[in-house]
Amino acid sequence: MPDPRRTPAPVATPSAAPGFWQFPWGYGQALALASGMMTVGFLLEVMLHAHGAVPAPGWPVNGILLVVFTAGLILPATRLRTDPIIQWLSDVPMAIVATGLVTALALIGGIVPQTTPEQTGLLVKLGFNDVFHGWPFILSMLLFLSVLGLVVIKKIVRFQWKTLPSLLNHLGLWLAFAAAFFGSADMRTLTLQVREGNTVAHAVDQAQKFHELPFAVHLKEFNLEYYPLTLSVQAMSGEPSPDRSASPVLIQKEHTTELGNWMIEVLEYHPHSLWVGKTYEPVYTPGAFPAARIKARNRISGAETEGWISCGSATFPPRALDLVEARVQMDPPQPRTFQSQVTLLRPDGQTQDRSIEVNHPVSIAGWRLYQYAYDRNAGPWSTYSVFQAVQDPWLPAVYGGLLMLLAGALLRLVSGQKKNQDVRS
Amino acid sequence: MSWQAFPWFAGAAVLCWGLGFGSTWLFRKRTTMAPLSLGLFLAGSLVVAGFIVLLWLSLERPPLRTVGETRLWYAALLPWVGIYALLRWKLRWLLYFCLSMATLFLWIVVSHPEAYDKTLMPALQSLWFVPHVVVYMVGYALMAAAALVAIHGLWPAHSASLVTQDSQVADQLVQVGFAFISIGILFGAFWAKTAWGHYWTWDPKETWAFLTWSVYLIYIHFRVRHPEQHRVGHWFLVIAFITLLICWLGLEYLPSAQFSTHTYSG
C-alpha cells in the first residue's frame, strides 16, 4: 500500500523553465508592457507628424473620459482583486517601471531644448523637442495614472488610520495628476495689451487669435519704480572695485562717500533729465532718465575730476566719468515694482479699482489677470501694460490633490521616524 | 542696528555652536545630549534670529528684499530644523549637519557685503521665496547626507553589518529628505501660480526638480520591495544625488536650460 504521506514524484516535462508569461508577473513583464507602449507611442508620434500637438479634448469630453477612466479602474480593482494581472498592475515592480517610464521621458525633456527648432531631424520627428505634449508621454501618463489609481483603490479598501499619510500621498498625487492631465485643454492663457486711458475687452491666444472676454480692463496708469540709484567705481578693465567693503553708493545730492581711494561727492542729481546741447537738463518728460554731476577726489594724490554720469536710456547712451585708472558709472536702474492701476468692468456692470503687479494677480469673472509685461524700452514711461488672463477651471481639483500631498508629507514628518515596514502599507 | 554689526553676530553664533560641539566631547559618555551642549546650540541659533529681529526693526520692513537678507534667512532657519530633529528623533548628526550648513551660509553672507543692499527683482518679492528655498536647502542637505552614507556603504572594505546599518540610516535620511523636497516642490508650484499664472510649465528647472523627486520616489519603492538589496540601493542613491546636483547647480550646462526662467536663482 503506498504511503499516503509521500507525494508521487512529478513527471518530468520537456520544458522545465517557466514561460515568460507565466504568473506571477514582475519587472520583466512590466518592462515588456512599457516597451510596447513606447513603440506604439513613438510610431504614433512619427506617423501623425503631430510635432507634439496631440489633440486634447475640452469640457465636457475630458470630464466624461475621466469618469470612464476612473470607473475603468474601480471595477477591476474591486471585482477582480485576486486576478494576477490586476495584482501585478498594482504591485511595486509595475509602479517602479511606470514611474521610471515617465521619468525617462521627462529626462529627454530636461536635456533637449523644448522649443521649435530650425531644422527637422530625427529628434524632432520623434517629438523630442516637445516631449511633454507628445504621444509617448501621454501614454506613459495614462499608464502611470492607471497603476497609481489601482494602488489608491487598494489602499482605500484596506484602509487603516496609521497608513493615512501613505493614502494621502498616493491619492493626492493621483488627483493632482489626473486633474492636470485630463483638464489641460480647459486651461486658457490669453494676452491683452492695454494703453493708458484705454479699455480693452478682448485678448489674443498663442496663435494670435482674438477672444472676447467676459470683462473689460481699463488701464488708468502704469507705474514702474526703480530702487534708489547707485554709482560704483570700476577699474578700467571693467572689473568692479577691489574694495569689497563698500556697498553700492546711493546717489543723493550733496552727499559725499568714500569709495576705495576716492571721495565721491554728488554735486547735482536729476532723476529725470535729457541731454540738451552739452549738458543734462532736468526735464520731467517721457524718455527722461537719471543723471548726476559728481566730483571725484583721489585721497592719495589729491587729484580732482568733475563730470556727469548717467545710466542713459534705450535711446540715449550711458555716460561714465573717467578717472586715471578707474571709471565712475551710474549703475543700471533696477526695477523695484511695476504695477498697473486698473478699473475692471464686471459682467454684472459693477466696476472695481484694482492694482495688478507681479505676485499679486487679480481675479475676475473666473479669470485671473497677471501683470505680464510693459514697454521695456520706455521703462517707467511705458504707455501701455500687458496682462495675461488665465482661466484654469480644473485648478481646485489639482490643488485639492496637491494639498493632500502636502498633508501627507507633513504627517509623515510629524509622526516621526518609523521602520521601513510602514511604507509597505 | 545695521549690517555693519553682522560679523559680530555671526562670529558669536559660530562660537556658541563650536563650543556646543566641543562640549559634546566632554560629555561623550552620555547617551542623551547634555543640557549645556543643547543650551550652547540654542544660544548660537538665537543670536542669528536676534539679528534678524533687530534688522527688521531698524529697517521698518521685513528683511526679505535683498539677496543678502534672503541668505541670512537660510542661515537663521537651518539650525532650528537641526534642533527639532535632535529633540524629536534624537538625531545628532542632522543637527551638526544643519549647523555646518548654517555656518557656511553665515560665512557666505559675511563675505559678500555687496549683497546686503543688492535688491531682489519684483518676481522674487514674494512671501513664498524664503520658505520655498529654505525647505529645499534642508531637503538637499538630507539627501547629501544620504548620498554620503550610501558611498560609505559601497566601500569595499566595509562589513555586511555596516552596510546594512548604512542602508537603514540612508532610508531614514531619505524619508525625511523626501518629505522636504516634496514640500519644496509644492511651494514652488503654489508660488508659480501667483507669479507666472501656471503651477507647472515644464521649465528646465521644474523638469529637473521633478526628475530629482521622481528618482527618490523610485528609490523609496525599491527599498520597500527589496530591503535586502543594499548595494543596488546605495548605487541608486548616488545616481539620485547626481540628479539633484544637476537640478541645483548643473542646469546652466545643459542645452535645454538656455530657455529657463529660473536662471536668476542662486
In this prediction the ipTM stands at 0.83
Q: Searching chain A, which residue's CA lies closest to the CA of residue B246?
A: A110
Say if residue A4's pLDDT is above 90: no
Min CA distance, B134 vs chain A (Å)?
A: 16
* Intra-chain end-to-end CA distance of chain B, in Å: 27
Closest CA to A240 of A305, A331, A334: A331
Asked whether the CA dihedral B15, B20, B21, B23 is positive or negative, the reply is positive
Say what percent of chain B tops pLDDT 70.
Answer: 94
pLDDT tens for residues B157-212? 878 887 888 888 889 889 989 999 999 999 999 999 998 899 999 999 999 999 99
Provide the shortest C-alpha distance from residue A89 to chain B (in Å): 14
Average of per-residue pLDDT across A212-241: 83
Q: Between B179, B210, B223, which is nearest A412 by CB?
A: B179
Model pLDDT, residue A216 = 95
Does the pLDDT at position A12 exceed 60?
no
> Reduced to 3 states, what is the DSSP secondary structure of residue B187?
helix
CA triplet A89, A90, A93: central angle to 5 degrees? 75
Q: Please give the C-alpha separations between residue A202 and each of A216, A364, A373, in angstroms, as whole numbers.
A: 8, 14, 17
**Which residues have a Cβ under 8 Å from the Cβ of A406 and sit 6 or more positions away?**
A172, B182, B183, B186
Q: What is the arithmetic mean of pLDDT over A274-301?
A: 89
- The yes-or-no verdict on residue B119 having pLDDT over 80 is no
Which residues on adjacent β-strands are paired with residue A216?
A: A345
Q: Which of B89, B185, B196 to mutate to test the interface with A (most CBs of A within 10 A)?
A: B196
| Residues facing A304 on adjacent strands | A297
pLDDT attached to residue A425: 29
Listed residue (A191, A137, A212, A188) closest to A394, CA to CA: A188
Least CB–CB distance from A96: residue in B89, B207, B221: B221
Lowest pLDDT segment from A323-327, B82-86, B89-93:
B89-93
pLDDT tens, residue by residue, B221-239:
999 999 999 999 999 999 9
CA dihedral sign of residues A398, A403, A406, A412: negative
Per-residue model confidence (pLDDT) at position B261: 58
Distance from CA of A281 to the nearest CA of B (A): 29
Q: Chain B partners of A247 at a C-beta cutoff of 8 Å?
A: 3, 113-114, 116-117
Cα A56 to Cα A44: distance, rounded to the nearest angstrom: 15
Residue A36 sits at the vertex; the CA angle it makes with A35 and A42, to the nearest 5 degrees, is 85
Task: Select from B61, B169, B172, B199 the residue whose CB has the most chain A CBs within 10 Å, as the one to mutate to test that interface.
Answer: B199
Substitution target in B129, B193, B263 with the highest count of A β-carbons within 10 Å is B193
Summarize the confidence of residues A117-135 as an average pLDDT: 84
Average pLDDT in chain B: 86
- A419 — pLDDT class (breaks 50, 70, 90): very low
Nearest to A99 among B117, B179, B218 (CB): B218
The alpha carbon of residue A250 and the mean position of all alpha carbons in its chain are separated, in whole angstroms, by: 35
Residues in chain B closer than 8 A to A112 (CB atoms): 255-256
Range with the largest mean pLDDT of A99-108, A274-283, A373-382? A99-108
Global pTM value? 0.83
Percent of chain A with pLDDT over 70: 90
Average pLDDT taken over every residue of chain A: 87
> Inter-chain contact A370–B196, Cβ cutoff 8 Å?
yes
Q: Test B210 with A106 for CB contact under 8 angstroms.
A: yes
Whether the pLDDT of residue A420 is over 50: the answer is no
d(CA B30, CA B32): 6
Q: Cα–Cα distance between B29 and B36 in angstroms, integer?
A: 14
Over residues B139-167, the mean pLDDT reads 84
Q: Enumerate the β-bridge partners of residue A363.
A: A368
Residues of B with CB below 8 A from A92's CB?
Answer: 221-222, 224-225
Contact B118 A248 (CB under 8 A): yes
Average pLDDT estimate for A156-183:
94
**Which residues on chain B are in Cβ contact (under 8 Å) with A180?**
200
**What confidence tens digit (pLDDT) does each residue in B200-215 have?**
999 999 999 999 999 9
Residue A16 has pLDDT above 60, yes or no: no
Separate counts of helices (H) and strands (E) for chain B: 8, 0
Give A-chain residues touching B225 at CB under 8 angstroms: 92-93, 96
pLDDT score at A421: 35
Asked whether the predicted pLDDT for residue A402 surpasses 60, the reply is: yes
- Say if the Cβ atoms of B183 and A406 lie within 8 Å: yes
Q: How many contacts (CB atoms, under 8 Å) link A and B?
A: 136
The beta-strand segments (E) located in B182-232 are none
Q: What pLDDT, on the 0 to 100 scale, is given for residue B224?
A: 93
**B255 → closest Cβ in A103, A112, A416:** A112
Dist CA A387 CA A357 (whole Å): 10
Q: What's the whole-number mean pLDDT along residues B19-43? A: 89
Q: Are B224 and A424 a contacting pair at CB < 8 A?
A: yes
Q: Read off the pLDDT of each residue in B53-73 and give the average, rounded to a whole number.
A: 80
- Checking if the pLDDT of A108 tops 80, the result is yes
Which of A204-208, A390-394, B144-148 shows the lowest per-residue confidence on average (mean pLDDT)?
B144-148
pLDDT in tens, B1-16: 678 889 999 999 999 9
Torsion-angle region of B90 (φ positive above 0: left; ψ -120 to 50: alpha; else: beta): left
The average pLDDT across A47-57 equals: 72
Assess whether pLDDT exceeds 50 at residue B73: yes
Give the pLDDT band of residue A257 (cuts 50, 70, 90).
confident
Partner-chain contact A99 B227, CB within 8 Å: no
Cβ-based contacts of B195 with chain A (< 8 Å)? 358-359
Q: Do A110 and B211 touch (CB under 8 A)?
A: yes
Residues of A in contact with B125 (CB under 8 A): 337, 358-359
Interface probe for B, chosen from A111, A360, A363, A422 (most Cβ of B below 10 Å), is: A111
The pLDDT value recorded for residue A363 is 93
What pLDDT is attached to residue A99? 97
Q: What is the mean pLDDT of residues A272-282?
A: 90
Among chain B residues, CA nearest to A373? B196
Select the more confidently predicted residue: A14 or A285: A285
CB contact under 8 A, B225 and A93: yes
Range A394-422 average pLDDT:
80
Residue A17, pLDDT score: 63
Q: Which of A142, A21, A24, A159 is nearest to A82 (CA)?
A: A24
Q: Which residues of B touch A401 (CB under 8 A)?
A: none
